[in-house]
Amino acid sequence: MSYPLYLLWTLHALRHGYKHGLPRYLKLRMNGGDSDHQQRIWVHAASVGEVRAVTPLVQALLQEGEKILFTSFTATGYLAIQNGFADSVSSSVIPFEHRWHCRRFFRRHRIRLGLVVETELWPELMYQARKRDITLVLVNARLSAKSLQAGKYVRALLSTTLGYFERILVRNSKDRAALLSMGVSDDRIEITGNLKAYVTAKPQQPRLIDRDYLLLASSHKDEEQQFLQARPAELKHYLLVLAPRHPDRSAAIQSQIETLGMSFAVRSKAQTIAQDTEVYLADTLGELDSLMAHARVVIMGGSFDTTGGHNLLEPAALGCAIITGASDSNIVEDLEMLGLDQGVLQVESMTACWQTITRLINHPQEALALGREARSRLEQQADIVHRYMATIRSWL
């Protein structure tokens, strides 16, 4: 990958913050992290969502006495690793996608097995790993529609990179078919299930908001405005909580709320929610589970624009009543697993979304049943980590 291209990727990774630790992040990408003489299993995940997905697998490896190097691509993913594991793993970020930095990374770490999560197919990094006879396994593997529709050069590069993996553990038959279309031999693919569907007993989530509220989670640009503008008058007494996908959009969202003439409070400013507060902007990181757990209804963002939706399994694991929009290219498997009109409701527009919210509020038993069904379906996936470990043990 060329220097200009990977520098663009780095800027993308920095988009979500780590503002106070930027020098540390860049240093890690330059020097490959602190030298470590312990032999470790390397687990790599792109960002926060993938870190969370692979966490049960990392915990299972730790329970078996394995030493782990856990890396992320983004700064927020790196922070999630540190917050979730403290000193129980060695944590870092991956190096720049250039042979000098990749070589340095592998000189500084003794790796005997690499577990790479989902779509983190870095050609130079994977090449340098295989050059050192490090066995690579792609876990929870998938290929995006964008990758499958890419041009000849990109597809050839992806195909070459996939060739560095000893085994590719996919979520379902659709993912298997996508990999076969990229030239991966069938004997290297194994359908193991979606790690994101693994449910552990979540601790009791603290209640951050005393009032009854509706939550728009992981929203993108303009979705907040759509949501607020479409609110029917009869539901004006419900607090509307906005948890944007990118909290650094806070100032722009505040400006939109002011334009609509709605009273609001901002969490990052520690502003108090009064009885007449209409909107609460939760522009912080790390609190989404708590916000979801106590919402009357969770509306998942990224599905009322062209994003393709966001992970439905996290609110499902909390037993939430979930509504998602028509844009669903990223969550087709989630919808199938939870069951349309059984564990999740999908609507065509924001107007239809509010009609559905009104119905769920007027019929709370329906909302409760929706959440129970979602969680029940996830609990049926309890053996996923055992299936992954059964395969991975052959390299331990």
pLDDT at 20: 45
What is the third-level CATH fold of 3-197+382-395? Rossmann fold (3.40.50)
Dist CA 209 CA 280 (whole Å): 9
Query: CB burial class (10 A; 0-12, 13-18, 19+) of residue 232?
Result: exposed
CATH 3.40.50.11720 residue ranges for the chain: 3-197+382-395
Query: Alpha helix locations (H) across the chain?
Result: 3-14, 22-31, 48-63, 75-85, 99-108, 123-131, 145-148, 152-162, 173-181, 223-229, 250-259, 288-293, 313-317, 332-338, 350-362, 364-379, 384-392
pLDDT at 5: 47
Q: Which amino acid does the sequence have at 10?
A: T
pLDDT at 375: 92
pLDDT at 333: 82
Please say whether the structural domain 213-379 has been given the CATH code 3.40.50.2000.
yes
Contact 283, 247 (CB under 8 A): yes
pLDDT at 148: 79
Averaged in consecutive runs of 10 residues, what is the pLDDT profile of the chain (396 residues)? 47 48 75 83 92 94 96 89 92 92 94 94 95 96 81 90 96 91 94 85 86 97 97 95 96 97 97 96 93 97 95 93 95 90 97 98 97 92 91 92
CATH 3.40.50.2000 residue ranges for the chain: 213-379
pLDDT at 35: 82
Query: CB burial class (10 A; 0-12, 13-18, 19+) of residue 95?
Result: buried
- Structural element, H or E, at residue 322: strand 322-324
